[in-house]
């Protein structure tokens, strides 16, 4: 299998956030994006982060992804305090600990699928032969073994998102973060991508965090954290957060497409 299971550790607590705040601007112009957020995520969880526009969920993801630093509070990732690290130190954390998947795919337009997946390993200093072999394995594992040399313009939206997922996994990270990963996809492709996330979580122990405004997307998770006005409004198992009718549709869809998504 191309997907690496995260290494065993003495603690199953991957994310630990305490009193996290983020303020943009000062004085009368200050905008409080996060207001004292507390959250724990254990290894192997599949969490959906929901909320309307302006609720703080995207700001929270940027902080969890080490793309920004909080104004105050503590954020420990895999036991390491990362809230006050330098830009270079945060870049190292992102390379080794976190894989990102975005709504717009963010693939290099003039670069093949294989080369896109190789890129994180190139930055990590992995040898050419090793990164090429691993990129091929990853693309094969997401059903794109026959699309290695295709550029993004030659791939469908769902195929481009699969390339992005393979790229996110290239360095064997324990945490996959996805920001509206199905926002640019049709319903069939969306179901295939969410099935892939489910399998990465169920079969390979990958911790998955999905930021979404869509209840249908959140229904694929196992836990739903809802933000409003910079605070956590609720934190519930998916069975309590998502209506049964929505979960039933997801379960039916998952059963229908799971055999077509290979991980």
Q: Is the pLDDT assigned to residue 78 strictly greater than 60? A: yes
Q: Is the pLDDT assigned to residue 234 strictly greater than 80? A: yes
pLDDT tens for each residue of 222-232 = 999 999 999 99
Q: pLDDT band at 9, cuts 50/70/90?
A: low
Distances (CA, A) of 126 to 106, 108, 112, 120, 129: 22, 20, 19, 9, 9
Query: Looking at the domain assignment, is residue 234 inside a domain?
Result: yes
Query: Looking at the domain assignment, is residue 72 inside a domain?
Result: yes
Query: Looking at the domain assignment, is residue 4 inside a domain?
Result: no
Q: Is the pLDDT assigned to residue 106 strictly greater than 70? A: yes
Give the model's pLDDT for residue 259. Answer: 61
Query: Among residues of the chain, what percentage have pLDDT more than 90?
Result: 83
N residues, the chain: 263
Q: pLDDT band at 3, cuts 50/70/90?
A: low
Instruction: Residue 112: give its domain's CATH number.
Output: 3.40.50.300
pLDDT tens for each residue of 112-140 = 999 999 999 998 899 999 999 999 999 99
Domain residues for the domain of 22 are: 13-260
- Domain count along the chain: 1
Q: What is the mean pLDDT of the chain?
A: 92
Query: Looking at the domain assignment, is residue 133 inside a domain?
Result: yes
Query: Looking at the domain assignment, is residue 230 inside a domain?
Result: yes
Query: Looking at the domain assignment, is residue 3 inside a domain?
Result: no
Give the model's pLDDT for residue 1. Answer: 43
**Predicted TM-score of the model (pTM):** 0.90
Query: Looking at the domain assignment, is residue 6 inside a domain?
Result: no
CB atoms within 10 A of CB 62: 18
Query: Looking at the domain assignment, is residue 5 inside a domain?
Result: no
Q: Where are the alpha helices (DSSP H) in the chain?
A: 57-64, 87-97, 113-123, 128-141, 157-168, 187-204, 215-218, 238-241, 244-257
Cβ atoms 123, 108 nearer than 8 A: no
């Amino acid at each position: 299998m191309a997907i690496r299971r995260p290494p065993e550790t003495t603690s199953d607590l991957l994310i630990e956030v305490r009193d996290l705040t983020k303020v943009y601007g000062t004085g009368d112009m200050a905008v409080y994006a996060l207001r004292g957020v507390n959250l724990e995520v254990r290894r192997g969880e599949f969490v959906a982060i929901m909320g309307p526009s302006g609720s703080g969920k995207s700001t929270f993801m940027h902080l969890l992804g080490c793309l920004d630093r909080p104004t105050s509070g503590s954020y420990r990732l895999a036991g390491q305090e990362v809230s006050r690290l330098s830009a270079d130190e945060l870049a190292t954390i992102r390379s080794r600990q976190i894989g990102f998947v975005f709504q717009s795919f963010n693939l290099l337009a003039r670069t093949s699928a294989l080369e896109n997946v190789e890129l994180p390993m190139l930055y990590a200093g992995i040898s050419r032969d090793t990164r090429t072999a691993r990129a091929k394995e990853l693309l094969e594992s997401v059903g794109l073994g026959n699309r290695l040399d295709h550029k993004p313009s030659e791939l469908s939206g769902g195929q481009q998102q699969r390339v992005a997922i393979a790229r996110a996994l290239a360095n064997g990270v324990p945490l996959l973060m996805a920001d509206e990963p199905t926002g640019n996809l049709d319903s069939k492709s969306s179901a295939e991508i969410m099935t892939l996330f489910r399998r990465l979580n169920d079969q390979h122990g990958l911790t998955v965090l999905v930021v979404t405004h869509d209840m249908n997307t959140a229904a694929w998770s196992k836990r739903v954290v809802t933000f409003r006005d910079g605070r956590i409004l609720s934190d519930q198992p998916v069975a309590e957060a998502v209506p049964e009718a929505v979960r039933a549709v997801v379960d039916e869809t998952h059963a229908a497409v799971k055999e077509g998504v290979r991980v």
